[in-house]
Amino acid sequence: MDRETIRKKYPLSDEQKLLLSQKYYETDLTIKQILKDFGLKGLNSSQITYLFDNIETNIKCEYCKVIMEQEPPTRTDGNKDTFCPQCKHILYRSSYRQCCCENCQKKKQIEKEKKEQQTKNAIYNLLNRDHDKTAYNAEDLTSWDKLLLGSLITFAMDEELKYIQPLEDCERCFFPGRDKSIEIIEKLYDDGLIILGNRYRTSSFTFDEKNNVSFYLNKVFYEVWVDDSDICKKLLNPNQFLNDDQILSFWRDFNKGEAIFYLLSEFENLRIKSFSPGKKTEELFAAMAEKLSLSQIFRMIRYITDKTAKEVMTGDKYYQHIANSTITRLESHFYRALHENYSLYNVKYENDLSMVTTYFYNKILNMGDSAFYSVPNIAMEKYIILREN
In which band, very low, low, confident or very high, does the pLDDT at 361 lie, cut at 50, 70 and 90?
very high
pLDDT tens, residue by residue, 113-145: 999 999 999 999 999 999 999 999 999 999 999
Question: Which residues pair with residue 55 across a beta bridge?
Answer: 70
Q: Do you know the residue count of the chain?
A: 389
The pLDDT of residue 387 is 65
Residue 362 and residue 372: Cα distance in Å, rounded? 11
In which band, very low, low, confident or very high, does the pLDDT at 314 lie, cut at 50, 70 and 90?
low
Alpha helices (H) along 214-371: 231-236, 244-269, 279-291, 294-314, 319-340, 355-359
The pLDDT of residue 274 is 78
Nearest to 364 by CA among 351, 383, 381, 347: 383
Is 90 exceeded by the pLDDT of residue 337?
Answer: no
Cα-based torsion angle of the residue sequence 212, 217, 223, 225 in order, rounded to the nearest 10 degrees: 80
Percent of the chain topping pLDDT 90: 69
What three-state secondary structure class fits 270?
A: coil
Cβ pair 367, 361 in contact under 8 A? yes
Residue 118 and residue 105: Cα distance in Å, rounded? 20
The reported pTM is: 0.78
Q: Average the pLDDT over 312-331 and give the result.
A: 78
Backbone phi and psi for residue 157, each to the nearest 5 degrees, phi listed first: -90, 150
In which band, very low, low, confident or very high, does the pLDDT at 315 lie, cut at 50, 70 and 90?
low
pLDDT tens, residue by residue, 242-255: 999 999 999 999 99
**89-108 burial, b for 16+ CB within 10 Å, e for fewer?**
bbbeeeeeeebebebbeeee
In which band, very low, low, confident or very high, does the pLDDT at 306 lie, cut at 50, 70 and 90?
confident
Q: Cα 38 from chain centroid?
A: 67
Backbone phi and psi for residue 213, each to the nearest 5 degrees, phi listed first: -105, 140
Residue 135 and residue 140: Cα distance in Å, rounded? 11
Mean pLDDT of the chain: 90
Least confident of 56-60, 288-292, 342-346: 342-346
Residue 303 and residue 54: Cα distance in Å, rounded? 81
